[in-house]
């Protein structure tokens, strides 16, 4: 039976509307792929109060040999041996922040979706006021597509915003240096990952720490192995850079 003009128009408008909605959804679910996103100004600093709960989440760079049996805050072994511990030592050693509670919930080898799976157990349980996130290098090593990285990272930030709306969020840029294995192969994705984290920082109005830029700049005067001994994991000067730059984004 041939379609009436009215039925034909209704179906046409329905299909057009559906396609338009799909296009809008695709735009919403994509990061800013323009090159200009790499040059935007993201200068929002974070606030840290004297009695806050400060939580670090991420992969091995955050974990760095922490004792996972220790769940209480401010315990040296539970804070690991990396930049989280160095930041903690500096903050807790000052009179102003002596009553902070600082937690390390980094997991060696984690990719972004695994961090998302730990949201209930780690982020919500601790109910932190300030949450610092450094994740992405294992996504790079596993050749995860930038949109994959963006999708899970966005879910993580969205959950924090929804369930801990008052929490300060710090997004740390993932980083590598040329002495990393398969460095050239990882660079195409890292270029896009850098757009992902900037998109999230812009859209969710978080603090953003451009660590990859800092490491590349420092490598012009410091041997790369003194910064990241394998191009991924920090050496002593790398940890110092992580600590100093993190602290520089805190409002005094």
Determine the Cα–Cα distance for residues 50 and 4; give it in Å rounded to an integer. 71
Q: Is residue 107 part of a domain?
A: yes
What is the mean pLDDT of the segment spanning 215-244?
A: 98
pLDDT of 9 above 60 = no
pLDDT of 20 above 80 = no
Q: Is residue 7 part of a domain?
A: no
pLDDT of 173 above 90 = yes
User: What CATH number has the domain bearing residue 234?
Assistant: 3.40.50.1110
pLDDT band for position 157 (50/70/90)? very high
Find out whether 206 and 43 touch, Cβ atoms under 8 Å: no
Chain mean position to CA 99: 26
Which residues, 6 or more positions from 98, have their beta carbon under 8 angstroms from its beta carbon? 50, 92
Number of structural domains found in the chain: 1
* Residue 37 phi, psi dihedral angles, 5° rounding: -60, -25
Q: Is residue 236 part of a domain?
A: yes
Q: Among 195, 198, 216, 215, which Cα is nearest to 207's?
A: 198
Q: Is residue 88 part of a domain?
A: yes
What is the mean pLDDT of the segment spanning 217-234?
A: 98
Label residues 64-101 b or e (16+ Cβ within 10 Å = b).
bebeeeeeebbeeebbbebbbbbbbeebbeeeebeebb
pLDDT score recorded for residue 252: 79
pLDDT score recorded for residue 5: 52
Determine the Cα–Cα distance for residues 216 and 141; give it in Å rounded to an integer. 19
Determine the Cα–Cα distance for residues 26 and 214; give it in Å rounded to an integer. 33
Mean pLDDT of the chain: 91
**Which pLDDT tens digit goes with each residue over 88-140?**
999 999 989 999 999 999 999 999 999 999 999 999 999 999 999 999 999 99
Q: Is residue 58 part of a domain?
A: yes
In this prediction the pTM is 0.88
Q: Is residue 5 part of a domain?
A: no
pLDDT band for position 24 (50/70/90)? very low
Which tokens belong to 206? 């978080």
Q: What percent of the chain has pLDDT over 70?
A: 89
Domain membership of residue 207 as a residue range = 45-248
pLDDT score recorded for residue 10: 42
What is the mean pLDDT of the segment spanning 173-184?
A: 96
Q: Is residue 13 part of a domain?
A: no
pLDDT score recorded for residue 29: 81
pLDDT score recorded for residue 8: 41
Q: Is residue 36 part of a domain?
A: no
Name residue 131's beta-bridge partners.
55, 169
**Which pLDDT tens digit goes with each residue over 38-59?**
999 999 999 999 999 999 999 9
């Amino acid at each position: 039976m041939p379609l009436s003009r009215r039925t034909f128009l209704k179906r046409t408008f329905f299909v057009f509307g559906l396609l338009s909605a799909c296009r809008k959804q695709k735009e919403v679910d994509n990061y800013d792929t323009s090159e200009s996103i790499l040059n935007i100004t993201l200068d929002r600093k974070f606030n840290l109060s004297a009695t806050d709960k400060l939580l670090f989440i991420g992969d091995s760079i955050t974990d760095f040999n922490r004792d996972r049996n220790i769940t209480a805050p401010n315990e040296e072994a539970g804070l690991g041996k990396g930049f989280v511990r160095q930041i903690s030592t500096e903050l807790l050693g000052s009179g102003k922040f002596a009553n902070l509670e600082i937690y390390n919930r980094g997991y060696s080898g984690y990719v972004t979706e695994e961090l998302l799976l730990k949201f209930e157990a780690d982020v919500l349980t601790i109910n932190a006021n300030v949450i610092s996130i450094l994740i992405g290098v294992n996504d790079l090593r596993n050749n995860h597509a930038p949109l994959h990285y963006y999708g899970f990272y966005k879910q993580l930030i969205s959950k924090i915003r929804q369930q801990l709306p008052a929490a300060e969020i710090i997004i740390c840029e993932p980083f590598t240096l040329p002495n990393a294995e398969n460095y050239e192969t990882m660079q195409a994705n890292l270029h896009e990952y850098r757009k992902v984290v900037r998109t999230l920082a812009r859209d969710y109005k978080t603090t953003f720490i451009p660590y990859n830029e800092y490491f590349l700049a420092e490598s012009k005067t410091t041997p790369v192995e003194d910064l990241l001994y394998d191009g991924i994991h920090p050496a002593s000067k790398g940890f110092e850079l992580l600590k100093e730059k993190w602290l520089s984004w805190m409002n005094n």
